Structure 1
Amino acid sequence: MFRLLLSLSLLVLLTSGVRAQTAQQCATMEMDSLLRARHPELGTLNDFERALQRKMVEIKKQMASGRVGLATVITIPVVIHVVHNGEAVGSGRNISRAQVQAQLTTLNEDFRRKAGTRGFNDNPLGADIEIEFCPAIVNPQGQSMAEPGIDRYNGNRANWNRNDIEGILKPSSYWNPDKYYNIWVVDLNDAVAGGGQLLGYAQFPSQSNLPGIPSEGPASTDGVVIDYRSFGNVEKGTFPTMRDTYNLGRTLSHETGHWFGLRHIWGDANCGDDFCADTPPQASESRGCPVGRVSCGSTNMVQNYMDYSNDACMNIFTLNQKDRIRAVMALSPRRVSLLSSNVCGTLVAVRPVSNFRADNQQVLLGGQIKFNDLSDGFPTSWSWTFEGGTPSTSTEQNPVVTYTQPGKFKVTLVTSNAIGQSDPVTRTEYIEVLNQGLCNTVKNFDGTPTVLREVGGTGYVAGQNSRRSKAVSEFFANKLGYTNLAGASLKFGVAKAARGASTESVVTVTVWNGRGFQGGPGAVLGEKDVPLRTILDDVANNRPTTVTFDKNVPVSGLGFHVGVTFPYATGDTIAVFTTKNGESLAATSWRQNQQGNWLRYADSLGLNVAHNIVANVGQKPSVQIAASSLFISPGETVTLNARGAGIYNWVGTGLNTTLGPQVLASPTQTTSYTVTGSGLDLCSTTAVVTINVRAGTVTANTPLAEQALQVTPNPSDGQMMVLFSGPQRGTLTLGVRNLTGVELSRQNHQKTADLFQQTLDIKTAPPGVYFIEVRIGEQVFRRRIVKQ
């Protein structure tokens, strides 16, 4: 949901699958396509719809009977973080108090459908959302604010990109989102790679159970980001920094809609679903103010705040959008807690009233739980007691507790300030510690195996395609806090070897942490090459491809991604099965576009699916196996290493021994080797690796391609040494290619000795996976590298 004014370079991104639009108002779907969220495992479409409809029916019954659970008019406390670069107040990025007040006035007009303002409409579908926004008068320490609702923050830089906003700015400047609606007003001039202008984006509400949005985002990033040139309203003052067209304050109205759980009116797909029945379907976003525009068999509601129309065109939220917002205010924990925040009212010094919430109430043995203080009255000290926990007591405001014994345990909190001490709050059997499921398989897939074709191009959504997607991934929330990932199973729906392609093609299964932008894939935690021939055989026999990683991948109790990176240089084609569109709405499927940006399918394609990927997780280790090479010539020696256990036994032909963590094998034909571990408490005691033997004459100790070409260090920062050994002599070409097969650099050298070595510098290339390629005579050697 970015409101983007796109330059020509961003228009190019459209062709590669980025849902950026000309003069786009919002990037929440795209930006939210990137947030370090931890999404719980959600149910099917029917589960979501039932939960949502139950809550909406409940709210409507309460309204009809006069027993309304929520106040008729809800007040939301707001803090606007004005992020500047040292400018004087009222100059440039350090916008004036009048500009802030003009924006808040506009926000209230739009959400209250106020007569006599641009926010009014007489459409029978139009709704007074009955939500008002008040500037906070006290800061998190309970001190009165010199400028109500305004936190001026010197970011010591002019412009901000998305990653730095999420990873640096927000975590260092946010105020408790249980007490404040955080709005960051920044210079987004550098927020879009390749040029173009981003107007804003939002984070969806956590644990709302609404269909079509992720379930949880971190507290440290919760809120809305708006470019300072689109914050305010020129009809309510003279604000020379504001741009044309988007200068009436509707960027914040739009992004606040997302913050309340509303989707784009076109459902981010051609005639897509925004989960509000009274917003007519439309083919795409609107531009300008095309009143009367017809698509998808109906007249489009181009005036809706959740479209991309000009600011002057927007003036309606609908009754169903109101229902969805009110359901969020009844269900989403951080939104609900805002109702009891007293930071807008008259400050009265009182003793605190204790309150708290745990980030999870169910944990595995040995798992950790973070407790969040929600107490009123601005306490200055905290006294926690954790039955069954370590530590058993704490004076921190938001402690983290480890539970090492099974059972159900109570938690008590007492808070104090200068006025006095609160009454204790005790919740019995609040935390449940499970002694089962310490070894488990987790998945999001629950539906019909489907191969999705790329719309408007060729190839596959979850595979190689004409848009040259670099990778796909499936997000696992890891709500029970598993620490180890031993392996995974991936069900491929398509596997084709290119004509004349090498029989040694591999596909890389990759694990990322979930700390990328808005919960997308972040750093690579582990990788495993899988021979294409294995996937071909698995697809032919309708079975999943099972992967055991070389060592236990540490997921550290946090969310993670498992997926596939696609090499385009080989010409092979693979695609992963997904559910049918609409069978899964947890927004867990992601793909990386050609520019390297990670986007959710739901946000960028309007597809609600999950990949058929199963992760093998545990609190205990598993036996792992690694081979020095997956392809050898007959009779060559390969080294096999086992990890995870104390004692190892090996089975397979051509072994030099059957005991120990490391053995040597010299098979003369393709052979599978099994290692069984013992001596420790394990999740999985066995692991298998297949060594593929090339056709040919049996030889001994022929240099392997993998041994001939070495790159060190790997991973690296881009500065590395390439070593190539072998008897070959003559002209040698040293090149670097990205995953799409594009050559980034090429050097020509002469190899005059057995060992060739050359320094290589790709520091200017973006982080990612690349191939080092050495060509000499008719032979080609490749080595995959990771630039951090």
Structure 2
Amino acid sequence: MNRLLLIFLLGAFLHLTVYAQTPIRKAEQCATMEMDSLLRAKYPQLGTLNDFERDLQLKIFDLKKKMQSGRLAATVITIPVVVHVVHNGEAVGSGRNLSQAQVQSQLATLNEDYRRKPGSNGYNENPVGADIEIEFCAAVVNPQGQAMAEPGIDRYNGNRANWNRDNIEGVLKPSTYWNPDKYYNIWVVDLTEQLAGGGQLLGYAQFPSQSNLPGIPSDGPASTDGVVVDYRSFGNASKGSFPTMRDTYNLGRTLTHETGHWLGLRHIWGDANCGDDFCSDTPTQASASSGCPVGRVSCGSTNMVQNYMDYSNDACMNIFTINQKDRIRAVMNNSPRRVSLLTSNVCGTVVATRPVSNFRADNQQVLLGGQIKFTDLSGGFPTKWEWTFEGGTPSTSTEQNPTVTYSQPGTFKVTLVTSNAIGQSDPLVRTAYVEVLNAGLCSDMTNFNGTPTVIREANGTGYLAGQNSRRSQAVSEFFQNKLGYTNLAGASLKFGVAKAARGTATEAVVTVTVWNGRGFQNGPGAILTQKDVPLRDILNDVANNRATTVTFDRNIPVNSLPFHIGITLPYVAGDTVALVTTRNGESLLATSWRQNQQGNWLRYADSLGVNVAHNIAARVGQKASVQVASSAIFIDPGQTVTLNARGASIFTWAGAGLNTTLGAQVVVQPTQTTSYTVAGSGLDLCSTTAVVTVNVRAGTVTSTTPLAEQALQVTPNPSDGQMMVSFSGSQRGALTLGVRNVNGIELIQQKHQKTADLFQQPLDLKSSPAGVYFVEIRIGEQVFRKRVVKQ
């Protein structure tokens, strides 16, 4: 039997459903990685686990330098614990309502394992074995500063027999958690959830967040911070008679393992075949271990199956390593909630004192109109808070954890005074604490900072960031949007390869796509917009060694959240494109993603071991930009085309053959390829002009017809889902109006009769998710389709 399953699900294991590790084992599993993925999808501002990993490595390096120079001495630190024993009305010591002795046996085991105490199962003579120098104490006061009847134990009747993760995360934790700045929260519950691939869930943890580091805001979700353990694996059966405990996992190592995650450790096999757990003294191994296979060899080395971060049986585990200690101590020195635990003073005898004010902010640098959330960290159990925010709205607050908006540029101080029945704190004044940026309201952002490179596909044909023998469906670049830009107007993409089977006259297109960052592991989620770029334009840009610039049909509201920009990759014989990237290893951000042949999004770094950034820049702003859309980009000579401008209140057009030079909409009938420029005014804009090109095929001029008489039109497009379908022509008879998604699944089918040249029918897609759809008209043997975008 096994132990764990994560919430992270890296590389080829990543999917919206949880995959069992290879090989599949009918065993207990840990869901930390999986829960971490879901958490980051729910809170996109948390960034990616790779962001966390990158920043943690830098902190470890800095910590080692300080210790080597003698400026920082390693000391034993103490973490206060509260165990929420969740029962269903049983008497204390019966069933789920664990006895105090069983809880104490678990905390004793936790201390043995993290202190490598001689004579305990946590002792080993391995030269890389480490005393983590962390001890765990049972809290003696509750959040109100009152003495606890049972130190470290909070008994809670959940009025239900068992729990799954949805219940725990959405109901149990938010209603029972104690301030995670002062307590290490452990929930002991009846977990009966079965996992994909078989196995019983034993527990999971929430990874630490980092303070003031890219991608890891200091204030992740406090209401879920901690560890969950099944009650049958909580405690140590060798220290007492605890009849509820299961076999194999009855020596307390489930909590040791999950606490390791809570302190920043990864699974020893790196959650991938021969993956990296970022600790050089843990031998690489192919997968999780089962049982106690001492001497197991994989990935060219003997596996450390005794490590607490493997899936071995409890009796097999006995070691943390020196590098694992480095990671843990770096977290305890830098992760804000972990740091604050060291001064929480809830394990001592002092119940309440005159408060000492303290706080932190989730960000200290914002753009105009940005928001900052402040978190109270004051000691002494205050009951009253008096905040003053220079330059902020509100300017004062009595909330414990207020959110403040800053709408004027400059640097501003923040003041906090706290009080309780014993007295009032001295004012805590932090000058120049908040910086509000006036510059940069319109900007280009990119992750590319390295040597321009076109990488060939390893062990195959084609290109890493283009068409290849893996049949990658799309590639994207992740933009964290740390400063909280609200609008995305366009992008530039540098292609290093562009080939057309039929030469430059081809009508092939490359579809530039924007996704939100709410997919699995902050991967691409819903499509926000798409823009077809003629392959001939990319061929010309590559020949002239310049980036391809794309202006989207409308301002894309990214709402201060992360997003992705990339391209879809159709496989047309002879047509090839590939994006420029950095050299492998020049980027440490793990921002490049690919969609595999099965449609799953995977990070390059996780699935291929390649860490690059695409040469893509996003044009962002806090203000709108002028943008333009064309009803067609390839036409016959003289065909009618409608151009629509957005983003301003006044528009002026320039170009040949315009029916007017003013207004948001114009009609043109070009007989040769022509570019049209629109200039906007009347509003404060990031970009005041936009250009659109209509490509005209070779041939004779067609007879011109009014817009209303064209075959199939859907307006507006893009839209909020409320649109009008117009179909014109001489056909009469039964007509089917349908809507399909991008996978070809028919979502709507309506039967009508066409009795005149013009057929019109309103269409409502408001209840459908944002994305791309195809409106389809069938009449007789003919089928007409139009691609539409629902915003």
Mark yes or no: TM-score above 0.5: yes
1:622 aligns with 625
Q: Structure 2 CA distance, aligned partners of 1:404 and 1:606?
A: 43
Describe the superposition over 1:676-711 as per-residue Cα deviations: whole angstroms up to 9, x where unpaired: 223433222222223344555524348899972759
The alpha-carbon distance between structure 1 residues 674 and 424, as it changes in their structure 2 partners (threshold 3 A), is same
The answer to whether 1:52 aligns with 2:60 is: yes
The answer to whether 1:152 aligns with 2:156 is: yes
Give 1:684's match in structure 2, choosing from 684, 687, 700.
687
Q: Structure 2 CA distance, aligned partners of 1:11 and 1:167?
A: 28
Cα drift, residue 316 of structure 1: 1.4
Structure 2 SS opposite 1:414 = strand
Cα drift, residue 536 of structure 1: 5.3
1:429 aligns with 432
Q: Structure 2 CA distance, aligned partners of 1:707 and 1:144?
A: 78
The alpha-carbon distance between structure 1 residues 580 and 707, as it changes in their structure 2 partners (threshold 3 A), is farther
Cα drift, residue 319 of structure 1: 0.8
Cα drift, residue 420 of structure 1: 1.4
1:332 aligns with 335
The answer to whether 1:294 aligns with 2:297 is: yes
The alpha-carbon distance between structure 1 residues 623 and 55, as it changes in their structure 2 partners (threshold 3 A), is same
Is the contact between residue 82 and residue 185 of structure 1 (CA under 8 Å) also seen in structure 2? yes
Cα drift, residue 482 of structure 1: 2.6
1:418 aligns with 421
**Corresponding letter in the other structure for 2:257:** H
**Corresponding letter in the other structure for 2:492:** S
1:355 aligns with 358
2:375 aligns with 372
Q: Structure 1 CA distance, aligned partners of 2:97 and 2:499?
A: 57
- More divergent stretch after superposition (744-753 vs 630-639): 744-753
**Corresponding letter in the other structure for 2:65:** V
Describe the superposition over 1:419-474 as per-residue Cα deviations: whole angstroms up to 9, x where unpaired: 21111111122222333222222222223445667778887765677887776544
- More divergent stretch after superposition (112-121 vs 460-469): 460-469
Is the contact between residue 403 and residue 433 of structure 1 (CA under 8 Å) also seen in structure 2? yes
2:667 aligns with 664
2:787 aligns with 783
The alpha-carbon distance between structure 1 residues 53 and 562, as it changes in their structure 2 partners (threshold 3 A), is same
Which runs of 5 or more structure 2 residues have no equivalent in the other structure? none
**Corresponding letter in the other structure for 1:480:** L
The answer to whether 1:130 aligns with 2:138 is: no
Cα drift, residue 282 of structure 1: 3.3
Cα drift, residue 265 of structure 1: 2.8
Q: Structure 1 CA distance, aligned partners of 2:425 and 2:163?
A: 45
* Alignment map for 1:36-47 (pairs within 5 Å): 36-38=43-45
2:563 aligns with 561
2:514 aligns with 510
Give 1:480's match in structure 2, choosing from 446, 465, 483.
483
Q: Structure 2 CA distance, aligned partners of 1:253 and 1:712?
A: 58
Which runs of 5 or more structure 1 residues have no equivalent in the other structure? none
The answer to whether 1:228 aligns with 2:235 is: no
Is the contact between residue 734 and residue 747 of structure 1 (CA under 8 Å) also seen in structure 2? yes
Higher relative contact order, chain-length normalized (CA < 8 Å, sep 6+): 1
Report the aligned-residue RMSD.
Answer: 5.0
Is the contact between residue 386 and residue 416 of structure 2 (CA under 8 Å) also seen in structure 1? yes
> Number of paired residues?
771
**Corresponding letter in the other structure for 1:38:** Q
The answer to whether 1:204 aligns with 2:207 is: yes
Give 2:285's match in structure 1, choosing from 282, 285, 299.
282
Describe the superposition over 1:260-280 as per-residue Cα deviations: whole angstroms up to 9, x where unpaired: 222333444554443322222
The answer to whether 1:643 aligns with 2:651 is: no
Is the contact between residue 474 and residue 595 of structure 2 (CA under 8 Å) also seen in structure 1? yes
* Alignment map for 1:445-460 (pairs within 5 Å): 445-449=448-452
Is the contact between residue 288 and residue 310 of structure 1 (CA under 8 Å) also seen in structure 2? yes
Is the contact between residue 11 and residue 603 of structure 2 (CA under 8 Å) also seen in structure 1? no
Q: Structure 1 CA distance, aligned partners of 2:265 and 2:117?
A: 21
Cα drift, residue 354 of structure 1: 0.3
Is the contact between residue 95 and residue 228 of structure 1 (CA under 8 Å) also seen in structure 2? no
Is the contact between residue 217 and residue 519 of structure 1 (CA under 8 Å) also seen in structure 2? no
Cα drift, residue 322 of structure 1: 0.7
Structure 2 SS opposite 1:433 = strand
Cα drift, residue 318 of structure 1: 0.5
Describe the superposition over 1:301-341 as per-residue Cα deviations: whole angstroms up to 9, x where unpaired: 22222334344433211111111211221122222111111
The alpha-carbon distance between structure 1 residues 633 and 208, as it changes in their structure 2 partners (threshold 3 A), is same
The alpha-carbon distance between structure 1 residues 30 and 614, as it changes in their structure 2 partners (threshold 3 A), is farther
Is the contact between residue 736 and residue 745 of structure 1 (CA under 8 Å) also seen in structure 2? yes
Give 1:652's match in structure 2, choosing from 645, 652, 655.
655
Cα drift, residue 368 of structure 1: 2.4
Q: Structure 1 CA distance, aligned partners of 2:13 and 2:454?
A: 24
Q: Structure 2 CA distance, aligned partners of 1:473 and 1:519?
A: 12
Give 2:118's match in structure 1, choosing from 87, 98, 115.
115
The answer to whether 1:548 aligns with 2:578 is: no
2:179 aligns with 176
Describe the superposition over 1:718-760 as per-residue Cα deviations: whole angstroms up to 9, x where unpaired: x999886655579988887665x57578989898667597999
The alpha-carbon distance between structure 1 residues 378 and 775, as it changes in their structure 2 partners (threshold 3 A), is same
**Corresponding letter in the other structure for 2:64:** M
Is the contact between residue 46 and residue 220 of structure 2 (CA under 8 Å) also seen in structure 1? no
Q: Structure 1 CA distance, aligned partners of 2:472 and 2:242?
A: 42
Describe the superposition over 1:122-174 as per-residue Cα deviations: whole angstroms up to 9, x where unpaired: 21110111112334444444455566344637498966467x87677666665
The alpha-carbon distance between structure 1 residues 711 and 660, as it changes in their structure 2 partners (threshold 3 A), is closer
Is the contact between residue 31 and residue 518 of structure 1 (CA under 8 Å) also seen in structure 2? no
Structure 2 SS opposite 1:206 = coil
Describe the superposition over 1:545-603 as per-residue Cα deviations: whole angstroms up to 9, x where unpaired: 333233333333x3311234747698987655444443333344455678877665555
Is the contact between residue 186 and residue 226 of structure 1 (CA under 8 Å) also seen in structure 2? yes
Cα drift, residue 382 of structure 1: 0.8
Structure 1 SS opposite 2:180 = coil
The alpha-carbon distance between structure 1 residues 724 and 644, as it changes in their structure 2 partners (threshold 3 A), is closer
Cα drift, residue 370 of structure 1: 1.9
**Corresponding letter in the other structure for 2:561:** G
1:700 aligns with 704
Structure 2 SS opposite 1:53 = helix
- More divergent stretch after superposition (617-626 vs 25-34): 25-34
Describe the superposition over 1:605-630 as per-residue Cα deviations: whole angstroms up to 9, x where unpaired: 55444333322222332222233444
Q: Structure 1 CA distance, aligned partners of 2:212 and 2:405?
A: 28
Structure 2 SS opposite 1:326 = helix
Cα drift, residue 208 of structure 1: 6.6
**Corresponding letter in the other structure for 1:53:** F
The alpha-carbon distance between structure 1 residues 453 and 113, as it changes in their structure 2 partners (threshold 3 A), is farther
